[in-house]
Amino acid sequence: MTYERNFDLLNRKFRELFFPTLMVSIAGNFAVLVDAFFISMFMGSLYLSVVQSIEPFVAFINVIYWLIGLGGSILCTMAKAEFNDKKGNAYFTISIIGIIIVGLIITLSTIIFQTSYVQILCHSAQLKPLVTQYFYYYALGIVFECYMVSLAYFIKTDGFINMQFRAFLLCNVVNIVLDVVLMKFLNLGISGAAMATTVGHIVSAIYITLYFFKSNRTLKFIKVKSSELIGYIVDICKAGFSGSSIPLYITIRLVFLNALIVGILGDLGLAAFNMCYNTIFLVDIFILGTSQSILPIAAVYYKEEDYTGVDYVTKRSLKIVIGFGAFFSALFILFPQIVLFIFNVSNPADIPTVINVIRIFSISFIAFAVNNLYMFYAESVQYNKLANIVTLIQGLIFPILFAYLFAYLWGAEGFWASLVVSEFATLLFIFIYSKIIARKSNGEYSGFFLIKKPEDSSVFEFTLEGNVEDAVKLSENIQKSFNDDRLSVLVSMAIEDMIVHIIDINDNVDLIDMIIRENGDYILISIKYSGNSINVMEDESIESNIAILNKISQKIDYSQILGLNNIVIRIK
């Protein structure tokens, strides 16, 4: 019987993360679409210009909680992969407390300097009173939004994926109900839309706080030394910058592009531009769901030098995002009337412009999907330089460069075409860059995702079913793989004892992944499985599996990450 690795456990974990994360992405982005839908329904499609005017500020808020929340959660995940719970808890503590403080500061500043914010965001005198109404009530919920989203990133790392989903779902249910009540029945107009969003964030923030009352949570608040505080903050911002720069660049980009399109087509152009961005939000729901599923898995497996695992999950994700991009491109090119229906565009004079814009813009979806997946992947495996370059050119340089150039040459048609060209230019850059780096590395890195090549001669990978018979047979097979008799006996004993112990403490263990790697002076045995946790401290019984393991091994580390039990045994 062979026990070659079949990636079934990794595939199952990907699916387990993918669907809840997709639902979180749907819930997280749905608020934007819901507000746009009800504003169009109850007030008319041109009122979407109000929402579009405020989008740069909304994107700026995304910058904040991606920088602190996402950055902190990535480092927390890596710390847990290194079995450093203290460091993981430090990142958790600083990120959550930090995001609350920053959120409060932003909320207060928007109240005090509201007129200045609106002056920067809105270029139309006719829209400014409406923008002021929407902006005021939206700003009141900023601290709750930042706290809720940031904590959601961390509780996913801790395995509370369903709780994360329910928090976002609750936010949107409240938002939808209040949109109808406040806008239609209480006639609060654009202010009602902003109130609904804010109350949704407040309710979901209260719900997600229940995490702190869970007895099985592993993340806790700890006291961090003041001398270490600055270092932790810098690390968090570095880790989160490439991801958070996406909404940062969107913020800057929208300020420039909003002004440009208003000058070309006026309020109708701004409304059509808003519809484009709302359709990309719809696509981004599925792209973010896939990308944020890969992020924690790639981070953990890359940290453990499991490059074949990283390769598997990236290829799987690439197929999914290309499928989503192709589907939505075809959908909106063939049936642009869907957008007209969603945003209640009924004026015969506006319909030709909107249909033309949507068809052109939809061509970019496949490139957009691949670019965004690549950015999240590069961030998760700490290719920070590459991630920062890609986010900069895709999010800021190419869109503004091509928009102003094409608009100058071909007017409005050139502006819409530039949105497509900028995405495909980014994809071409990534392809060429990856080719150059792979060639310069002399085989160390390969492929579009620059996967590091494992040293085949010193790595053995297995998947086995959770039964004693397979454990014994695998142990016997492994014993034949080493020339050193003493080493082969110790490794085979360690594997058999650990697997038997895992089986003993679980009613059912269907799959166990194992990697054996020569690492300098040590043999590393990495074991992953779903099920009950283990105690790697020495057992009182001298004949227990764990007691024997502690005697024959140099060190045993254990952690729970992403709902998987992760054990690393080192034998000198």
- Total Cβ atoms within 10 A of residue 410: 13
Among 407, 440, 473, the domain boundary falls at 440
**Which tokens hold the place of 549?**
């393991």
Same domain membership, residue 221 and residue 87: yes
Give the 3-state secondary structure of 35-81. Answer: HHHHHHHHHCHHHHHHHHHHHHHHHHHHHHHHHHHHHHHHHHHHHHH
Which segment, 173-182, 296-305, 507-516, is predicted with the most confidence on average? 173-182
8 A C-beta contact, residue 99 and residue 156: no
* Residue 500 within any structural domain of the chain: yes
Percent of the residues in the chain that have a pLDDT greater than 90, as a whole number: 22
Q: Report the chain's C-alpha Rg in angstroms.
A: 26
Same domain membership, residue 162 and residue 63: yes
Q: Between 52 and 211, where is the model more confident?
A: 211
pLDDT for 429 equals 96
Same domain membership, residue 534 and residue 436: no
Q: Tens of pLDDT along 363-379?
A: 999 999 999 899 888 87
Distance CA 387, CA 404 (A): 25
Among 409, 440, 471, the domain boundary falls at 440
- Quick check: 525 pLDDT over 80? yes
* Residue 447 within any structural domain of the chain: no
Through-space distance between the first and last CA atoms of the chain, rounded to whole angstroms: 29
- Quick check: 522 pLDDT over 60? yes
Among 388, 409, 440, the domain boundary falls at 440
Same domain membership, residue 282 and residue 176: yes
**Average pLDDT of the segment spanning 305-314:** 84
Among candidate residues 193, 198, 98, the one with its CA nearest the CA of residue 140: 198
Q: Tens of pLDDT along 154-169?
A: 988 787 878 888 888 8
**φ, ψ for residue 409, nearest 5 deg:** -80, -40
pLDDT for 456 equals 52
Distance CA 568, CA 256 (A): 51
Q: Tens of pLDDT along 443-477?
A: 888 889 988 876 655 677 888 777 777 777 777 77
Q: Tens of pLDDT along 191-200?
A: 888 899 899 9
- Quick check: 25 pLDDT over 50? yes
pLDDT band, very low/low/confident/very high, at 57 (cuts 50, 70, 90)? confident
pLDDT for 146 equals 92
Same domain membership, residue 533 and residue 395: no
Three-class SS of residue 89?
helix
According to DSSP, residue 4 is labeled B
- Quick check: 118 pLDDT over 50? yes
* Residue 1 within any structural domain of the chain: no
Q: Between 471 and 237, where is the model more confident?
A: 237
How long, in residues, is the chain?
A: 572
Average pLDDT, the chain: 82
**Which tokens hold the place of 562?**
């992403």
- The structural domain count of the chain equals 2
Same domain membership, residue 380 and residue 240: yes
pLDDT for 399 equals 93
- Quick check: 353 pLDDT over 90? no
CB burial class (10 A; 0-12, 13-18, 19+) of residue 319?
Answer: exposed
- Quick check: 202 pLDDT over 50? yes
Domain membership of residue 554 as a residue range: 456-571
pLDDT band, very low/low/confident/very high, at 542 (cuts 50, 70, 90)? very low
Distance CA 192, CA 177 (A): 11
* Residue 166 within any structural domain of the chain: yes
Residue owning tokens 């939206």? 138
Same domain membership, residue 365 and residue 265: yes
Same domain membership, residue 463 and residue 408: no
Mean pLDDT lowest for which of 127-141, 398-412, 427-441?
A: 127-141
User: Which residues, at least 6 apart from 418, have a Cβ–Cβ distance to it below 8 Å?
Assistant: 399, 402, 403, 405, 406, 407
Q: How far is CA 528 from CA 229, 300, 302, 533, in A?
A: 33, 12, 15, 11
pLDDT for 4 equals 73
**Which tokens hold the place of 35?**
């507000």
pLDDT for 102 equals 95
- Quick check: 27 pLDDT over 70? no
Same domain membership, residue 481 and residue 410: no
pLDDT band, very low/low/confident/very high, at 207 (cuts 50, 70, 90)? very high
Q: How far is CA 177 from CA 48, 170, 288, in A?
A: 20, 11, 25
The model carries a pTM of 0.74
Same domain membership, residue 302 and residue 243: yes
Same domain membership, residue 462 and residue 435: no
* Residue 2 within any structural domain of the chain: no
- Quick check: 335 pLDDT over 50? yes
